[in-house]
Structure 1
């Protein structure tokens, strides 16, 4: 019998619209001059390891009459060449050109008639590098039944392990009659099936009504000659286009700030984002009075048996932080952020960053996927921004012999939230991936610059004001024609290699 889609996953599907496609993406950069990493080797690598994530060869099939939730079935026409694609930039391709291409690709929704994932090998980058862009739907990667394929493609040594693949033969999909019989059997043997179906149907109708009401309101406003109301930099209706901004910084800079001022690396990263938001908002026509604090949802890794289990050794829970963008002092901002995490640390449920960084493979891709699901679930609680920080391994990883030198998360946006921030630490670097709505935030690239300068500001305080060298590299991209991407991942406190000292909370200065 095929596995039935769970209600929480059905809700994710029902909430997906052309302006809010619900897939996560990751952009990884590889040095491949000596390895010969190319499209053929990528296909070979995926063919060797896809058997460890069988859902990557399955698609969703509706039950006739929608009397039960959809089921996962093998795709009888599965074509690896469709999912593993090849693209190129005009040589020598720049980072800006890469981000523009990424924005175009992540803006396109996935085809629901096929397995819900795609991978692009992008050639032509300067320096003989290539980029790997992967996108997978939120219902595909849940961390429980399925981890992200990207977690399985990387090795700790240049010589790839040969795992052998499998001689996969798809099972024939169930007939309509068989699906109805299975639905009836499930309803009789498991009462939760009826309840899940009712919840899914009711939720779909309510979400459709909300969407219709919102559309009608915008139409009426247009007929009356009024432009749709905007909610400032961190709210408002989304378009079908995105901007992608990336920032590369060094982990040692965050450790230095932590060693001087206390707290954790996670606290320093959030304080850096806070300072970047403050400076960015001050460049706009909006007053900081409306943004004294920005309510952020920051998914955290915890040990909690009451939450949905994952295969990664911990659960992911939503944690809310009020980012103090109205505070002028970078040190006070850091201590206020640290204090907001103190209660979470004292519960004893938190998971150390070095434990997460030591998970086999490249677990950040899976943690970001789970975190985005948490953010989507929490959207009705009224947060303004989703932020995800996932610690990764602090040694080099390889794909078919090519060394990975950077990894940028790209999260999906949820309705009414034109900005999301993801952060991944890996091999001595801290990599920011910022997703922004193209129409709402045409100046999103400036936010990347402000984040780099906010880190410099914190470093300046750690250095006693002696020097202020530019530490981060900011690069931004423009969007493509259709679709979206979006928010959140999994945040943990600490660093990958040593415990952190708690910050001493201090008062705010106005």
Structure 2
């Protein structure tokens, strides 16, 4: 029996209706034409073909009687791929806003704990004939050590799918309660670490129940009095059970232009863009900057560090904290301040080059984002205000069952008290932002998305004043303007 590790169990224990612990990704495809076009049936066949590489995706959680030890992962004897790979559609021609509204509702719902902890939605009806694939996976499932994200395995470098050996998987019989109980007792007697984990699990469960009851009581009293819960900061506050997702597509050439003019890295330019967007967005709100000069952000970074848990990605992921200078009016100064913050990290020799990460087999950004969100959750008590995960991906087109992927947007999870999170993925000449916001606390998340574009344009202007940019076109379902297509 494979027992749930303490760190993975933390994500299960801390989950609540307001904080579903799950990562998501929106991928947009040109489905192709004719009988070989990507449709729901071909996606199901592709997943059935590749799922053998991630056995955890066919396992469910099984609790131990009396909670004498952590739960175990067991094969789901009733595993039903059709339950996990679902079909949806927008009214044709579906717009980007309609797609994002559907995504927002799907990612707001927690996963079913009685089944393997993942879902994939095939969404038809987008304008220009495109389709979307939305994947949703629990944070306890993907650790980068024993399990990578299924999305990393579904994409190929060529339109022709790789030939694989047939999968003859058959579920192992689930252990009965007596077997689980006997195994827990033996492990508690022979391994003090298991006993300690069990005690900690029980203590955390009791503390969490007390905290939840206290929070519900406060929310009830505030609602009865007609008061909105008091904010703990301009971009921090309590969460509702609903999310809002915003996507922004930009071009990698713009970031390279800025880097060449001012030095630093693409990551520095991305974070400077985020900083400028936050500044502009905050200034549109009633509270303006509210005296806020900096936003403390946690930015998971790839490092080589033998003291950290090894991953299958060739590097470890560590938290880096940076103060985003939202109070600084100059975009160039903001960029240099961000670059300076990361220079110390580069000087340690632990950092991993972006081109190395982009060269990892498969579409590794989905796994990197999953690990990054785990790191952000673990570092929650260090008092940051925002998590930003930026992952470089391959700069060549990838394909799923012959269909070319044209965009990939991360949808990072929210942590308690943090109603905003930002993920960024670069892929095939594009840089794609995924913004997750609490629907009630940040109802103007679309404004922040527009501010991302404006902040990038501002950096371009000060990097190449004579450069003539094409006028912005209308929005497409890809989340880009026509000039970005």
TMscore range, shorter length: over 0.9
Q: Measure, in 2, the Cα distance between the counterparts of 1:425 and 1:227.
A: 38
- The yes-or-no answer on 1:458 pairing with 2:455 is no
Listed as ranges, the matches of 1:404-415 within 5 Å are 404-415=405-416
Q: Residue 93 of structure 2 aligns to a residue in which SS?
A: strand
- The yes-or-no answer on 1:427 pairing with 2:428 is yes
Q: Measure, in 2, the Cα distance between the counterparts of 1:473 and 1:451.
A: 17
- The yes-or-no answer on 1:402 pairing with 2:403 is yes
Kept in 1, the 8 Å contact 2:294–2:327? The answer is yes
Change (3 A) 1:223 1:27: closer
Kept in 2, the 8 Å contact 1:318–1:374? The answer is yes
Q: Measure, in 2, the Cα distance between the counterparts of 1:446 and 1:161.
A: 42
Listed as ranges, the matches of 1:61-140 within 5 Å are 61-140=62-141
Q: Which residue of 2 aligns with 1:497?
A: none
Q: How well do the aligned residues superpose, as a CA RMSD in angstroms?
A: 1.7
Q: Which residue of 2 aligns with 1:505?
A: none
Change (3 A) 1:473 1:305: farther
Q: Measure, in 2, the Cα distance between the counterparts of 1:337 and 1:349.
A: 18
Q: Which residue of 2 aligns with 1:443?
A: 444
Q: Which residue of 2 aligns with 1:502?
A: none
- The yes-or-no answer on 1:6 pairing with 2:42 is no
Q: Measure, in 2, the Cα distance between the counterparts of 1:120 and 1:222.
A: 35
Gaps of 5+ in 2: 479-485
Kept in 1, the 8 Å contact 2:237–2:417? The answer is yes
Q: Measure, in 1, the Cα distance between the counterparts of 2:210 and 2:93.
A: 49
Kept in 2, the 8 Å contact 1:232–1:286? The answer is no
- The yes-or-no answer on 1:19 pairing with 2:18 is yes
Q: Which residue of 1 aligns with 2:194?
A: 193
Change (3 A) 1:121 1:244: same
Q: Residue 290 of structure 1 aligns to a residue in which SS?
A: coil
TM-score scaled by structure 1? 0.91
Change (3 A) 1:325 1:10: same
- For residues 56-106 of structure 1, give each alpha carbon's deviation from its aligned partner in whole angstroms, at most 9, with x where no partner exists: 000000000001000000000000010011111111111111111111111
Deviation at 1:142, TM superposition (A): 0.7
Q: Which residue of 2 aligns with 1:205?
A: 206
Listed as ranges, the matches of 1:99-498 within 5 Å are 99-223=100-224, 226-464=227-465, 467=468, 469=470
Q: Measure, in 1, the Cα distance between the counterparts of 2:430 and 2:353.
A: 19
Q: Residue 359 of structure 1 aligns to a residue in which SS?
A: coil
Kept in 2, the 8 Å contact 1:74–1:171? The answer is yes
Stretch of structure 1 that moved more, 205-214 or 94-103:
205-214
- For residues 213-240 of structure 1, give each alpha carbon's deviation from its aligned partner in whole angstroms, at most 9, with x where no partner exists: 2222333444556442123541111111
Kept in 2, the 8 Å contact 1:55–1:140? The answer is yes
Q: Measure, in 1, the Cα distance between the counterparts of 2:129 and 2:178.
A: 54
Q: Measure, in 2, the Cα distance between the counterparts of 1:184 and 1:171.
A: 22
Stretch of structure 1 that moved more, 332-341 or 230-239:
230-239
Deviation at 1:263, TM superposition (A): 0.5
Deviation at 1:7, TM superposition (A): 1.0
Q: Measure, in 1, the Cα distance between the counterparts of 2:473 and 2:290.
A: 29
Change (3 A) 1:243 1:222: closer
Kept in 2, the 8 Å contact 1:238–1:437? The answer is yes
**How many equivalent pairs are there?**
476
Q: Residue 291 of structure 1 aligns to a residue in which SS?
A: coil
Kept in 1, the 8 Å contact 2:234–2:290? The answer is no
Change (3 A) 1:49 1:466: closer
Kept in 2, the 8 Å contact 1:158–1:401? The answer is yes
Q: Measure, in 2, the Cα distance between the counterparts of 1:312 and 1:250.
A: 26
Q: Which residue of 2 aligns with 1:494?
A: none
TM-score scaled by structure 2? 0.95
Q: Residue 247 of structure 2 aligns to a residue in which SS?
A: strand
Greater length-normalized contact order (CA 8 Å, ≥ 6 residues apart): 1
Kept in 2, the 8 Å contact 1:248–1:474? The answer is no
Stretch of structure 1 that moved more, 299-308 or 65-74:
299-308
